[in-house]
């Protein structure tokens, strides 16, 4: 095992990860993701409650109690990009020496919300905001907005472009007036681009939706078995860069998955299990079979015995949500995004599970789904209810073995790296006492 950890490739990978972490922008990004643990965990808890309730008959999907309990999820996870952008802008502004990082965060949040949401009136005549891209779907665009807005403000500061106030004015008032011109410039630039894209597209696209459309456009033809491997690998790579890869390919695959399930429901009604047909889109299940996207549940299990205090803490709060397929605590807490050490097994685990699924379908161990299950459930439950096959449910737990083998070497590398960093930090703190 030491030979794996100390080979030249792994050493270079660790060095690259350390350099990436020392970059001010990347450090702010990772810091923001880790700082978002509160909304992520609260959202995960309420999501689990809303998933378990209908299973035990406490309430039904869409009824009054369900809607009340699901509201915290809407204001945490459905607005996740908004909170990440706010925290990232604060940390990045602080890192590049801006005097009022709070104002920088406010400016960035305003600009991002302006281009990632749309204001309208619903059928009842009430004001309504479309928050589709304020969730994880707009996160990558949000990162770009952070960089642009903060750099515009830094340019204004460096070149003394500001509305000057008398020295006797309170600092808060001075900071408020100093932010006027940078915010105006950022809105003119970014919102101007939004208007341009909307005009060219006939009002159908904006910056966020255009970015998603640009990525998803060439994916429609990749629905064969080799194509599914390409699609799912591509989605995993996008996730590693903070882009909601699952959402992008889901826009292509969801209609096909529904068609496949409907066709199999008809086939099952007339010919039973033997009439069921395997459709390549079913391989999409490999994306998050064991603990959410990237199959991260075993990473959480390993993390319970980690040397690093950070990994142990993140793993403890990620274990139960991971069993329900919610891995945002792990994705943001480790973090996995922009972490070259953990991105590799994140991608590999999906490929390995896809290969195992293909073997399972080809040998008859797995049967194709014929009952559409769209709700969040613990591992194995949705697979069972979708196929009425215990083998399909058992398969998810069997996949913990290969995904664990994929994650373990990289977990050890990252654990050693963080443990060493934490020890050095502790030694510095003790020396300073």
Average confidence score pLDDT of the chain = 85
Least trusted range by pLDDT, from 44-58, 188-202, 301-315, 348-362: 44-58
**pLDDT of amino acid 374:** 62
Query: For the segment 76-90, what is each residue's pLDDT rounded down to a tens digit?
Result: 888 888 998 999 999
User: What is the sign, positive or negative, of the torsion defined by CA atoms of 157, 30, 189, 130?
Assistant: negative
What is the rounded distance in angstroms from the CA atom of residue 309 to the CA atom of residue 420?
11
**pLDDT of amino acid 9:** 62
> Can you tell me which residue has the tokens 């406490």?
58
Work out the burial of residue 268: count CB atoms within 10 Å of its CB; fewer than 13 is exposed, 13-18 middle, 19 or more buried.
buried
Domain ranges, ordered by start, for the chain: 80-217, 220-433
Say how many CA atoms lie within 13 Å of 102 toward its Cβ: 4
Q: How many CB atoms lie within 10 A of CB 148?
A: 17
What is the rounded distance in angstroms from the CA atom of residue 42 to the CA atom of residue 222?
37
User: What is the sign, positive or negative, of the torsion defined by CA atoms of 307, 308, 314, 318?
Assistant: negative
Query: For the segment 342-367, what is each residue's pLDDT rounded down to a tens digit?
Result: 999 999 999 999 999 999 999 999 99
């Amino acid at each position: 095992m030491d030979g794996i950890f100390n080979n030249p490739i792994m050493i270079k990978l660790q060095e690259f990860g350390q350099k990436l972490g020392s970059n001010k922008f990347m450090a702010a990004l990772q810091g923001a993701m880790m700082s978002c643990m509160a909304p992520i965990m609260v959202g995960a808890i309420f999501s689990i409650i809303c998933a378990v309730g209908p299973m035990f008959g406490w309430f039904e999907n869409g009824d009054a109690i369900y809607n009340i309990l699901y509201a915290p999820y809407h204001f945490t996870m459905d607005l996740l990009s908004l909170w990440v952008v706010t925290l990232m802008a604060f940390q990045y502004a602080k890192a590049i020496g801006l005097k009022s990082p709070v104002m920088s965060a406010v400016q960035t949040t305003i600009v991002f919300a302006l281009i990632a949401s749309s204001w309208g009136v619903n059928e009842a005549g009430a004001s309504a905001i479309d928050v589709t891209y304020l969730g994880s779907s707009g996160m990558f665009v949000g990162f770009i907005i952070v960089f642009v807005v903060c750099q515009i403000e830094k340019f204004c500061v460096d070149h003394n472009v500001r509305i000057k106030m008398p020295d006797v004015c309170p600092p808060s008032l001075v900071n408020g007036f100093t932010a006027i011109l940078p915010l105006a410039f950022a809105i003119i630039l970014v919102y101007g681009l939004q208007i341009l894209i909307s005009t060219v597209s006939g009002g159908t696209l904006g910056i966020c939706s255009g970015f998603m459309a640009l990525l998803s456009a060439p994916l429609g033809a990749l629905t064969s078995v080799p194509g599914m491997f390409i699609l799912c690998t591509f989605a995993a790579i996008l996730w590693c860069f903070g882009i909601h890869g699952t959402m992008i390919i889901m826009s292509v695959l969801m209609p096909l998955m529904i068609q496949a399930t409907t066709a199999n429901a008809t086939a099952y009604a007339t010919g039973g299990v033997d009439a069921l047909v395997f459709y390549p889109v079913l391989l999409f299940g490999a994306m998050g079979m064991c603990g959410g996207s990237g199959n991260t549940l075993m990473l959480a299990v390993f993390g319970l015995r980690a040397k690093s205090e950070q990994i142990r803490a993140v793993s403890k709060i990620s274990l139960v949500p991971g069993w329900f397929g919610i891995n945002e605590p792990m994705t943001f807490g480790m973090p996995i995004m922009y972490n070259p050490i953990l991105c590799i097994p994140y991608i590999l685990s999906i490929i390995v599970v896809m290969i195992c699924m293909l073997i399972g379908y080809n040998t008859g161990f797995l049967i194709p789904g014929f009952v559409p299950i769209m709700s969040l459930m613990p591992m194995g439950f949705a697979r069972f209810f979708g196929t009425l096959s215990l083998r399909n449910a058992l398969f998810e737990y069997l996949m913990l073995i290969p995904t664990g083998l994929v994650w373990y070497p990289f977990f050890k590398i990252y654990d050693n790296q963080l443990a060493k960093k934490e020890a050095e930090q502790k030694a510095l703190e003790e020396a300073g006492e």
